Each structure stands twice: as C-alpha cells, then as structure tokens.
Amino acid sequence: MEPILQTQKLSHVYSAGTPFQRAALTDVDLDIYPGEYLGIIGHTGSGKSTLIQHLNGLLKPTEGKVLFRGQDIWESKERTRQTRFHVGLVFQYPEYQLFEETIYKDISFGPRNMGLDEAEIDRRVREAAHFVGLRDEQLERSPFELSGGQKRRVAIAGVIAMEPEVLILDEPTAGLDPIGVEQILGNIRDYHEAHGATIILVSHSMEEVARTVDRLVVVNDGVIPFQGAPREVFQHGDELEAMGLGVPQMTRVFHQLRAMGVDIDASVYTIEQARRAIRDYRSRKGAR
C-alpha cells in the first residue's frame, strides 16, 4: 500500500541564525498509511507538535520533504491549500481558538472556507456536532457558555466538519477528567470508523496510546528512535524510561515478573491481555 503521508529527511530549525536557534526535528523519515490509527508519543519538547504541523503544511520544512499521496505539498500554492483541507489538524488546547458568537458559526468556519454550498455546510456542521455529542439546540448558543471539555469538542467538530481524510489531534485529552478523556477518545474512534479516516493522535500518555492506536511512533529529541505496534515498542522499556516515557504500569509488572524468572508473556499492556497471559501461564504450568 502507498503511504497517504510521508516525510523524507524532514528537518526543522526554529529561529535559524539567531541566538535562539533550535533544531526541533532532524532527518525524520515517516510513512503513514491510509486508514491507520497512529499514535505519536514523546516527552515535552521532543518535537511532536513540530512534526505534525508539517503534515498539513502549517510549518515548512527547513530541509527535506512532506508528501501527501506521493506529491510534495509545497510544490505549488494550490497544493499546499488542498493539503490543508484533506489533512485536518486539531491544535493543542484548541478551545482557546474558538471565536465566533455561536457554536454553529464556529463549526462552519472550515467548511465555509472550502467554498461549499450552504446546504452542504449545514449537513456537515450537524453531522460533526453529532459526532462530538452536541445536540442541535446547542448550536445557536455561544461556545463561551460551555465547559472546557465541551469547548474542546466544538473545536474538534470544526475540523471534522471539513471531513479530512487524515485527522491529526495534538494532545486532545490533555487536562480533561477521566470521563472527558473517554468521550473524546470515543468521538475520535467514531470518526475513524465512520469515514475510514487516517488518525494521528499525539499523546503524553503511554496508557492512552497503548489502548487506542494500531501503531506507535516515539519522538525523542527531534528523531524517531522506535516505531511499531505498541507491544513491539514496549519491548524497549528501559530506553523509554530513560526518555522520560515509561511503559504502561501493566507492562512494567509483567516485565518484572519475567525478570524474577517467571516464564510469562511480557508483551502485555491491557487488563484483557494480562488476563490472557496469566491464563496461558497457568495452563502451561498445569500441563507440566
């Protein structure tokens, strides 16, 4: 399968030539495939936001390329513009970027920019609102009357209403309570399933990505040291720990069991997998 998005030797240097010069990404090669649910994880300042802002042409590479469906997104102005419609980006703390007087107007901002007709805009606004659990009668209210979690869902709806093929979310659950976290992860999963969209979820939390994504990309100091299925990435427990990341608690317990000489499958990160590993261990012991 051809990647939907690709970075080739992507480097980004902020404030080049000034005393504040900072290399945020160095020679990053990353392939992202249509329909996958990708997680990006890394410590504060590792380069996650810088990386994803290149994927929809918000930042321009200092060196290297970004390709969307095999074509350089900076090839022409029109291509950059089109990429921004197909690759939707929800910023970190997007609730601070709501500005319209009604929720409806806020969600319709993106589709309106795309030049769609009024009926299509209306359909998309209602569908996007529905995805994030907003009721029709809330649409004429001011976004500023909402709670923090609800505001964030309005901001996500504004990007979903553009019906992007790739939906990128920069730490969408940061600072929310556990119920708010579950709602947002549920909204994203619904969009993923209903549209077959590619999802890129940036997160700080190993626990969160472990149970949501198909593939995990670790960013550390502007490079990608590991990527793969979560269970593969978690094999690098000590290195992840050294990057200030750490594996899920469940995985740590199983690694410790193995270190103590228990012959158990340690590539475990959910309760269900733990149950299976223990059952498997017990049946093997019983069989001996």
Q: Shortest gap between Cβ of 166 and ligand ATP (angstroms)? A: 18
Q: How far apart (Å, rounded) are the C-alpha atoms in residues 149 and 63?
A: 37
SS3 167: strand
SS3 104: helix
**Residues within window 69-98 making contact with ligand ATP, judged by CB under 6 A:** 92
**Residues within window 22-81 making contact with Mg ion, judged by CB under 5 A:** 49
Choice between 203 and 273, CB closer to ligand ATP: 203
Q: What is the 3-state secondary structure (H, E, C) of 5-43?
A: EEEEEEEEEECCCCCCCEEEEEEEEEEECCCCEEEEECC
Choice between 14 and 85, CB closer to ligand ATP: 14
Q: Are 79 and 73 in contact (CB under 8 A)?
A: yes
Choice between 43 and 123, CB closer to ligand ATP: 43
Q: For residue 157, what are its two tokens?
A: 């709806």
Choice between 7 and 273, CB closer to ligand ATP: 7
Q: Shortest gap between Cβ of 46 and ligand ATP (angstroms)? A: 4
Q: Are 6 and 67 in contact (CB under 8 A)?
A: yes
Of 39, 47, 164, 230, which one interacts with ligand ATP (CB under 6 A)? 47
Stretch that binds ligand ATP, among 15-23, 54-62, 78-86, 131-139 (CB under 6 A): 15-23
Q: Are 46 and 217 in contact (CB under 8 A)?
A: no
Residue 237 touches which of Mg ion, ligand ATP, none (CB < 5 to 8 A by kind)?
A: none
What does the DSSP 8-state code read for residue 159? H
Residues that bind Mg ion (CB under 5 A): 49
Which residues contact ligand ATP by CB under 6 A? 14-15, 20, 22, 24, 42, 44-50, 92
